[in-house]
């Protein structure tokens, strides 16, 4: 844990057919992390901890065919990015270490 800067960053966007669902979903996040605009929820958070499970579970319940969303969870303390793809009834997370993501750019001056 860093004493000078946040260890976790979360970014994402969800589009639901029901605006009431967007408001319910925003309520699972810290107040300053969610921005609601009609059918769209924008997510931007920096801090030392956030539990994304309640958000992921409710998103799976609320989403209907045609809805879309994703959530990117950056764990800067451990150097891991997890991308959650959201869909009706479920979500799928794939994690990658920062070093693995940047590996293919080493010959382009990224060392």
Residues 6+ apart with CB under 8 A from 42: 12, 13, 34, 35, 36
What average pLDDT does this structure show over 97-108? 67
How does pLDDT run across 1-48, given as a tens digit for each residue?
556 777 999 999 999 999 999 999 999 999 899 999 999 999 999 999
Dist. CA 99–CA 104, nearest whole Å: 9
Mean pLDDT of the residues in the chain: 90
Residue 47 token pair? 């801090």
Measure the CA angle with vertex 18, ends 33 and 66; round to 5°: 100
pTM of the model: 0.84
């Amino acid at each position: 844990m860093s004493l000078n800067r946040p260890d976790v960053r979360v970014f994402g966007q969800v589009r639901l057919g029901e605006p009431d669902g967007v408001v319910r979903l925003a309520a699972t996040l810290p107040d300053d992390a969610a921005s609601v605009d009609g059918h769209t929820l924008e997510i931007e958070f920096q801090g030392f901890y956030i539990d994304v499970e309640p958000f992921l579970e409710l998103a799976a319940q609320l989403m209907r065919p045609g809805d879309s969303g994703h959530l990117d969870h950056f764990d800067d303390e451990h150097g891991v990015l997890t991308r959650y793809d959201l869909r009706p009834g479920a979500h799928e997370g794939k994690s990658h270490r920062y070093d693995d993501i940047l590996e293919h750019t080493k010959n382009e001056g990224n060392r």
